[in-house]
Amino acid sequence: MTSRFTTIKNRVEYIKAPVADVAADTTKVENTVKEVLSAVRERGDAAVREFSQRFDGSAPDSLEVTMEERLAAVAALDPQTRADTEFAIANVRSFAEAQLKTLAPLEIELLPGLHLGHRIIPIETVGCYVPGGRYPLLSAPIMTIVPARVAGCDNVIACLPPNAHEAMVAGCHLSGADRIFRVGGAQAIAAMALGTESIPQVDKIFGPGNAFVNEAKRQAFGRVGIDQLAGPSEIYVVADDTGDAELIATDLLAQAEHDIRTRVGLITTSRRLAEETLQAVERQLLDLPTAQTAGQAWREYGEIALCPDEAAMIDYSDFIAAEHLEVHTANAREFSLKLRNYGSLFIGENASVVYSDKCCGTNHTLPTMAAGRYTGGLWVGSYVKTCTHQYLDEAGVEQVALPAIRQSASEGLEGHRRAAAARLK
């Protein structure tokens, strides 16, 4: 049977097609993570230190960053870096606060005497994984820690690799982490999921990481909650003939420098724009300092898809469901309403992904690998639970008891029938 996605792909002409599949064999990663989880479960901090030495080449005597060390990291920040960090924190906090206001408790009397409702309850203890990565990503702690504080979580735990830049420690502190630990990789996820002598067990884990972090979150899920499973970063641009090839190429390469497995692409109805963008990318790579990473990502995972019409461009974009989706079309705001599958939408040429990545206020932790078909990205609502409740007086029992009795009897569940009947006067 032909899937609807196969039909969509058949309508596309590839000016440049990806030559590699980002979904790699994960057997080795799965086995390594299973070993880490088992060891941390059995030996706690000792196992965490062993894996830190093995994978990160560093195992500090004290896993927790002291308050003195936190304050020293903040004091060591360049004044402009601190100001920019606090600007980003303020924007993320303000947007999260506005989002939280859209979530409200509910109380209704559905039938006479039948009172139903829900409460918005912050998750008690959350763990925020802060990746070290190729570069000190100063925005990373902001995106996971600040929404937790806005949501009202009681305990916010942060873990970052032992060799992470001191500015990352400062970012965790300024964002509001209660406790910070120098533990990275799968061992950090295992420690937060299982608890050790030093690191408390959390209720839900947030934050992106490498393949080992991602797999550890997958294997820990169920014991604890997780925000999502994140693959390599992605950026796609949908554009018509009004698109600017140089600007599109700049944005594609900006995201491609994250990782050699970054997925980048242009989806367009304009052959001219497709060909000019291909040339612009190659030209810009010549003097891009991060071309070794960005160039490999472009060569292996970059694509330019030419669509016969606007409808096909929309369908193909929804099939890709890109983590970051830029809209470079005439009437971009109107056009954006036709799109439904993406992590976050960047409407118009001025809305560069880099602004959200760093400081504009929306969260940069977003679904990848087509998960945008069924979920959105990290937001303040990820840190709360919407929990229902019910209250019945005698009039309410009269409304629901007889239907419940009859249904229980028809299902052959006598215990249920008795429980339903016991309250009926």
The token pair that represents 11 in the structure block: 């309508």
Number of continuous H segments (helices) and E segments (strands) in the chain = 17, 14
- Please say if the pLDDT value at position 358 is more than 60: yes
Q: Which residue, 278, 343, 326, is CA-closest to 304?
A: 278
Provide the mean pLDDT of the chain: 95
Tokens standing for residue 72: 């020293």
What is the per-residue pLDDT across 25-48, written as a single tens digit (0 to 9) for each? 678 999 999 999 999 999 999 999
pLDDT tens-digit map of 197-227:
999 999 999 999 989 999 999 999 999 999 9
Q: β-strands 324-328, 344-347: how paired?
A: parallel
Closest CA to 252 of 288, 210, 204, 205: 288
Using CA atoms in the order 69, 75, 80, 82, what is the torsion angle rounded to 10 degrees?
50
Task: Give the up-direction half-sphere exposure of residue 135: CA atoms within 13 A in the CB hemisphere.
Answer: 9
Q: What is the pTM of this model?
A: 0.93
SS3 content of the chain, % helix, strand, coil (to 5): 50, 20, 35
What per-residue confidence (pLDDT) applies to 6?
75
Q: Check if CATH label 3.40.50.1980 holds for domain 231-376.
A: yes
- For position 23, what pLDDT does the model report? 66
**Domain boundaries, given as residue ranges, for the chain:** 27-226, 231-376, 393-422
Picking from 240, 243, 218, the residue whose alpha carbon sits closest to that of residue 230 is: 218
Task: Please say if the pLDDT value at position 343 is more than 90.
Answer: yes
**Residue 133: pLDDT over 80:** no
Residue positions annotated with a catalytic role: 323-324
Same fold, 27-226 and 231-376: yes
Tens-digit pLDDT profile for residues 224-264: 999 999 888 999 999 999 999 999 999 999 999 999 999 99
Q: Which residues are CB-neighbours of 136 under 8 A, at least 6 positions away?
A: 164, 165, 167, 168
Tell which CATH classification among 3.40.50.300, 3.40.50.1980, 3.90.1150.10, 3.30.70.20 matches the domain 27-226: 3.40.50.1980
